[in-house]
Amino acid sequence: MATLQFELNRIFKDHMILQQSMPVPVWGRGTEGLSIRVGFCGQSVTTKVKGGKWIVFLSPLAAGGPYELEVSVGFGPCDIVIKDVLVGEVWIAGGQSNMEFALEETSDASAVLAGADYPQFRYYDVPRVAYEDGQSSSIEGSWKVCTPELAKRFSAVAYHFSKDIQDALQVPVGIISCNWGGTSASCWMDETYLSYDEELRVYLNEYHSYINSLIPEEYERQKHDYNEQVDAYNLKAEGIKAQGLSVTSATAGSYPWPPPIGYDSFLRPSGLYHTMLMKIVPYAVRGVLFYQGESDTNKADRYEKLFTMMIHNWRDMWGRPDLPFLFVQLPIFGEDFSGEDWSLLREAQQRVSDNVPHTAMAVSMDVGERDDIHPRNKKPIGKRLALLARNRIYGQVLECDSPRLIGTAVAESGIMLYFNHAPAGLTSNGEPVKGFEMAGANGEFEPARAEIRGDSVRLYGQQVVDPHYVRYGWRNAPEVNLFNLAGLPVTPFRHQILRGIQDEV
């Protein structure tokens, strides 16, 4: 900084993509009072450094490129030139390991990577910094042009989303990957927002209570032992890959988890908000893709409030109360078929989608794996998020929503269930319909036989003759197979039936 007198934020690099059709901030740091000029695509904007920071806004841009972004002190010669800059659509890919999950690890990796040559798709990985230790400021990220080799480590969900968006809009697409496996939504929030509500303060209180009792020497020993376990696992995994096999819990065993928690842990509440997310605010983006929740199933009763507050937090940081959030509802997982903590979290996600404006949810019940928390078929997830974006954000008329229960009626010897978002009807692809249960007044559920009738389903119980409750997919890892004809799975639900009337949900 002493030699240049100013710095440009490190997300501004060669091959980057800027967001079209909205003001584009360009920012950095500098010596107080210094005059900074930014030039791009015929625009020239000047500002002065105030409080050690500077920011300018480019007027809305049209899709295109390549261009060069020039930054200089005053009207002198250019000090920084960013080359091969495109203008198009930019999305953040946030969450935990299933958003992080690399394209090369997916079930169809070979075929997909062979064709992954998209020069107008660019990908930026936010540097993974768990704790600001004085050295982290030197860690650089870069924008990567999509090639079969570089795409291997791209988020698989984000890749498939971007490919569909680029095909649909015919403009450049950029992804800012800001995620870390194993993280709670609380890791990506400002402490202030966690402190607003008594139910959310528990995330901070539990962490601080633990830290206050932590013995530093013991923590360092735990970290050393854990890192040795991870190294041993990674060595075994590399050997499995070298044999052309997939790394799964069956072949490599379970990944060592959880790591020890301490003052510098990436799992601490609000940690990654400061060390990763704030490094990219307020970069102009169209919206946010989010795939997270697995690490919050232990507090599923708080997740609706937690996720809602996180969305408000991010929108406040970007100054955009309508910043779109498109997120993934958790798939099936678990050997305990009767557990319901994942069901409760899915229900919380559904309520967020229902109650928070400018959000939409992609259902993924059909692509999970009971014995692997990281399902390898990521293409449907990316494509479903793309359908939501194409309809909700870009105004294209297409079927993008999973069917939802909208009403029930008690019928002879059973129940009629009515669904929306199935204009051409429902299907179980020729198999008996699975996943429905019903219960009487005692609340004891039994499997129900289901018959598809257009966009409705008729349920029959064996023992339950006076049904009071019905549910679908209401277990951690249920068997479900009901879709609309666009291939979108029915949203899981539980519902109490109102007696004597046609019941609207």
Quickly list DSSP for 131-167.
Answer: S--SSGGG----EEEE-TTGGGGSBHHHHHHHHHHHH
The domain containing residue 462 runs over which residues? 405-504
Report the pLDDT averaged over residues 314-337: 94
State residue 336's pLDDT score.
66
Q: How confident is the model at residue 400 (pLDDT cuts 50, 70, 90)?
A: very high
Report the pLDDT averaged over residues 35-46: 97
State residue 75's pLDDT score.
80
* CB neighbour list of residue 432: distance below 8 Å, 6 or more residues apart: 449, 450
Residue 342 lies in a domain: no
Residue 350 lies in a domain: no
Q: How far apart are CA 294 and CA 183, in angstroms?
A: 8
Give whole-number Cα distances, 128 to 92, 193, 434, in Å.
15, 23, 42
pTM listed for this prediction: 0.95
Report the pLDDT averaged over residues 402-427: 94
State residue 2's pLDDT score.
47
Cβ-contact 106, 378 below 8 angstroms: yes
How many domains is the chain partitioned into structurally? 1
Q: How far apart are CA 72 and CA 351, in angstroms?
A: 48
Q: How far apart are CA 403 and CA 486, in angstroms?
A: 10
Report the pLDDT averaged over residues 464-481: 94
Half-sphere exposure for 401 (CA within 13 Å, toward CB): 16
Residue 465 lies in a domain: yes
Residue 494 lies in a domain: yes
Residue 485 lies in a domain: yes
Residue 476 lies in a domain: yes
Residue 149 lies in a domain: no
Residue 261 lies in a domain: no
Report the pLDDT averaged over residues 202-212: 95
